[in-house]
Chain A
């Protein structure tokens, strides 16, 4: 019992620290990727390639003046950002990152807790997250903020239906609501993933589109459309209150990406079994990156590259060597696959933001109710029929 509490506390601390760092650096990654899509360097001044920019942003946001306008509804105005960030961080607690690991004689899962209703828990928490945005818009007592909050709640109610329907199809195939067992049913080869079961790529695409809308991302970012609503629901927020909305948005992005990974892409399972050499994929990737960096370091394009690039190359080679150690392989490989799949979906999020323009509001609603929802319902009915016939 005591060891359970201690292990849970340690796991909570580790996951919290890693999640917070990821949130800060996800924003750096987003700015860099969008900058390169638009052929400009992006953050470059603070640290090498702007790597310390998140740290500078955190210091800036903490030390900024925390302004509370005199006309707001104070209790709800203070409650809304707190609620938004709480609900966004809560859902990470049921997401499994890997199988059991053994640390100092204690066996534990790479997950905070496994619920037999894990998928429903995430749906419940994410449906509660709307209040943070809606109440922020209302309590600000500002027409732009109110419009942003209204748009956001209407959008989230509409897109939650196709999202739940799209989640239901892989659940029918895997026949469980526990995220851990959901991954267990997809173990083995690539074609055991729910994505490749018949036409399940339809549910995957519906899930991703609805996920974009649920997280208020481009092309569905009408709640914070700058050119019509100033900053939308967080117009009146400054300092850390603004930062908590920002962090909530990124945390929701991570949750949606992890959910897509767990539901459709087999979670931490490698694309093909380990006896056919899937364990060497990260080694080859990191070693290749290291060798490329070393080669560019030998023929430097700029003068300082002859020092920096070899250092980067050696770091990559060390990481590749770490993946070969049998001691860490048992937990590092699943973690690598989980992070690689989640990272790929996160990259798709950023990629879409760099490419697509924003919807018009009537297009947004028409798309949800006239196209996405019927598609999701038909897909669910067809999947249920096939599952009933096969089993």
Chain B
């Protein structure tokens, strides 16, 4: 059952991810990206990380993608036009991509030779209390640094936007 669900949602995630790139209209790409986020949340749920799954839907599929869709709608962005495709790119694209993937696979195999496969239901510490305890004890420093990083990013965006208005 777990394996079937995993395969179904993994396939949906990959297909939607490909669709994000293939679609020429930004709204269609954004909707495909929501599909990717949603199926990733299901994969987290299958692994036993229910809090991460809920956060994935609330933060990424909910808040972030709504902002994306909102901005695309606000700018009324039209469909992209295909232009400037170089001959070299269409000739070498696929072979180079396959070579890159093969190289990555080889490195992963070399660095983690005896990696154990993931099995479903083996992880149980995915509830909100376990996550909260880990965030505020073991990983307190990285957590706080990340929040300050986000704050800096917001301030940077405010500064950049203000300069354009003046």
Q: Is the CB of A138 within 8 A of B51?
A: no
Indicate with 1 or 0, residue by residue over A112-151, a CB within 8 angstroms of chain B CB atoms.
0001110011011101101100110110000000100110
In the complex, whether A157 has a CB less than 8 A from a CB of chain B is: yes
For A, the interface residue count at a CB cutoff of 8 angstroms equals 27
Q: Is the CB of B128 within 8 A of A177?
A: yes
The answer, yes or no, to whether A76 is at the interface (CB within 8 Å) is: yes
Bound complex: CA A137 to CA B62 (Å) = 17
Cα separation A137 to B74 with both chains bound (whole Å): 12
- CB neighbours (8 Å) of A149 from chain B are 73
Considering the chains assembled together, what is the distance between the CA atoms of A150 and B75 in angstroms?
Answer: 11
Report the Cα distance A6→B66, complex, angstroms: 38
Taking a contact as CB atoms closer than 8 A, the residue among B62, B73, B76, B128 that contacts A124 in the complex is B62
Are the C-beta atoms of B50 and A154 separated by less than 8 Å?
no
Residue from the list B50, B73, B128 in contact with A153, Cβ < 8 A: B73
Give the residue of A124, A138, A150 whose beta carbon is less than 8 angstroms from that of B57: A124
Taking CB atoms, residues of chain B closer than 8 Å to A236 are none
Does B152 make an interface contact (CB < 8 A)?
no
Q: How far is the CA of A341 from the CA of B61 in the complex (A)?
A: 32
**Cβ of A26 under 8 Å from chain B:** no
Assess whether A183 is interfacial by the CB under 8 Å rule: no
Q: Is B63 an interface residue (CB 8 A)?
A: yes
Which residues on the B side are within 8 Å of A115 (C-beta)? 50
* Majority SS at the chain A contact face: helix
User: Which residues of chain B are near A123, meaning CB under 8 Å?
Assistant: 54, 58
B54 touches A124 (CB 8 A): yes
* Distance to closest chain A CB from B34 (angstroms): 7
What is the minimal beta-carbon distance from A4 to any residue of chain B, in angstroms?
14
Out of B51, B57, B66, B128, name the residue touching A156 (CB < 8 Å).
B66
Contact across chains for B70 and A150 when beta carbons are under 8 A apart:
yes
A76/B31 in contact, CB under 8 A: yes
Contact B58 A138 (CB under 8 A): no
Q: Given A135, A157, A160, which contacts B31 in the complex, CB threshold below 8 Å?
A: A135
- Bound complex: CA A177 to CA B69 (Å): 30
Is the Cβ of A138 less than 8 Å from the Cβ of B27?
yes
Given the contacts A116-B128, A135-B31, A138-B27, A128 and B69 also touching, CB distance less than 8 Å? no
Please, which residues of chain B bring their CB within 8 A of the CB of A124?
Answer: 54, 57-58, 61-62
Contact between chains at B50 and A134 (CB < 8 Å): no
* Least distance between A216 CB and chain B CB atoms (Å): 15
Q: Mark B122-138, 1 if CB is under 8 A from A, else 0.
A: 00000110000000000
Q: Which residue of chain B has its CB nearest to the CB of A164?
A: B58
Q: If the complex has contacts A127-B63, A157-B63, are A137 and B58 also in contact, measured as CB distance less than 8 A?
A: no
Nearest Cβ distance between residue A77 and chain B, in whole angstroms?
12
CB of B70 within 8 A of CB of A153, answer yes
Residues from chain B with Cβ under 8 Å of A153 in the complex: 66, 69-70, 73
Nearest Cβ in chain B — how far from A242, in angstroms? 21
Docked-complex contact B69 and A121, CB < 8 angstroms: no
Contact A157:B50 (CB < 8 A) given known A76-B31, A127-B57: no
CB pair B50–A116 under 8 Å, yes or no, is yes
With known contacts A123-B58, A134-B70, A154-B70, A117–B63 Cβ distance under 8 A: no
Interface status of B11 (Cβ within 8 A of chain A): no
Contacts of A76 in B (CB 8 A): 27-28, 31
Contact status of A134 and B73, CB under 8 A, knowing A124-B62, A128-B62: yes
Of residues 29 through 77 on chain A, the ones whose CB sits less than 8 Å from some CB of chain B are: 73, 76
At the interface, yes or no: B67 with Cβ under 8 Å from chain A? yes
User: Closest residue of chain A to B57, judged by CB?
Assistant: A124
| Contact of A131 with B57 at beta-carbon distance under 8 Å, contacts A117-B50, A124-B62, A138-B27 already known | no
Tell which of A117, A121, A177 has the most Cβ of chain B within 10 Å: A117
Distance, CA A177 to CA B34, complexed state (A): 25
Q: Which residue of A lies closest to B55 (CB)?
A: A120
The CA-CA distance from A157 to B68 in the complex, in Å, is: 12
Contact B127 A131 (CB under 8 A): no
Docked Cα-Cα span, A101 to B93, in Å, equals: 63
Query: Which of B31, B34, B62, B63 has the most chain A CB atoms closer than 10 A to its own CB?
Result: B62
Q: How far in angstroms is the closest Cβ of chain A from B67?
A: 7
Known: A135-B31, A149-B73, A150-B74. A120 touches B54 (CB 8 A): yes
- A157/B51 in contact, CB under 8 A: no
| 23 interchain pairs, CB-CB under 8 A | A76-B28, A76-B31, A117-B50, A120-B54, A123-B54, A124-B57, A124-B58, A124-B61, A127-B61, A127-B62, A127-B63, A128-B61, A131-B66, A135-B27, A135-B31, A138-B69, A146-B73, A146-B76, A150-B70, A150-B73, A153-B66, A157-B66, A157-B67
Give me 13 other A-B pairs in contact (C-beta within 8 A), A117-B127, A120-B55, A150-B74 excluded.
Answer: A73-B27, A76-B27, A76-B31, A117-B51, A121-B54, A124-B57, A131-B66, A134-B66, A137-B73, A138-B69, A138-B73, A156-B66, A160-B63
Q: Interface on A for B, CB 8 Å cutoff?
A: 73, 76, 115-117, 120-121, 123-125, 127-128, 130-131, 134-135, 137-138, 146, 149-150, 153-154, 156-157, 160, 177
What are the 9 A-B residue pairs with the smallest beta carbon separation, nearest first?
A127-B62, A120-B54, A124-B57, A153-B70, A124-B58, A117-B54, A117-B50, A138-B73, A130-B66
